Amino acid sequence: MNRFKAVGAAIAIHPFEYLAGAAGAGPPIRMILDSGIHAGAGSDAAQISTLNPWLIIYYMVTGKNSSGVLINDKQQVTRTEALRLYTADNGWFLREENQLGSIEVGKLGDVVALSGDYFDPAKVPDEAIKKLKSVLTVVDGKVVYEDLK
């Protein structure tokens, strides 16, 4: 970690271990965040295809794999940290942090409305994170998806 920090490197966390990881096999997410090294997260490192981001966010928050087995204990992050890793923190990797990743004046402002209140564990328990979905998606000021149910 010290070497990464010394050279100004960053870590892209793509924990495909969610699919079939064994205990202790996952990335040290908590350690990475606590080190102060810049990090971002995504789901494009799976063996077959990209993964639903909510599955990876569930893994980062709970440390549990797809079978519900705790495999990354003591490396969990908060819901806010997980979402930030997936959004605002990724602009840095593209050198577009001044344009992407957060809703601010002067930045691109794509937005989704979710099917549940991600930040409230009473309304969306950990297991329900995996089932979150967009009910409204706005890209470049235009509605590109709307669940009319």
Q: What is the pTM of this model?
A: 0.88
- Please write the tens of the pLDDT for every residue from 17-38: 888 777 877 889 999 999 999 9
pLDDT at 48: 64
The pLDDT of residue 81 is above 80:
yes
Mean pLDDT, rounded, for 59-73: 93
User: Number of structural domains, the chain?
Assistant: 1
What integer pLDDT is reported at residue 46 of this predicted model?
Answer: 54
pLDDT given at position 136:
95
pLDDT band at 45 (very low <50, low <70, confident <90, very high): low
Give me the pLDDT at residue 49, please: 66
Q: What is the 3-state secondary structure (H, E, C) of the chain?
A: CHHHHHHCCEEEECCCHHHHCCCCCCCCHHHHHHHCCEEEECCCCCCCCCCCHHHHHHHHHHCECCCCCECCCCCCCCHHHHHHHHCHHHHHHHCCCCCCCCCCCCCCCCEEEECCCCCCCCCCCHHHHHHCCEEEEEECCEEEEECCC
16, pLDDT greater than 90: no
Provide the domain limits for residue 72. Answer: 2-146
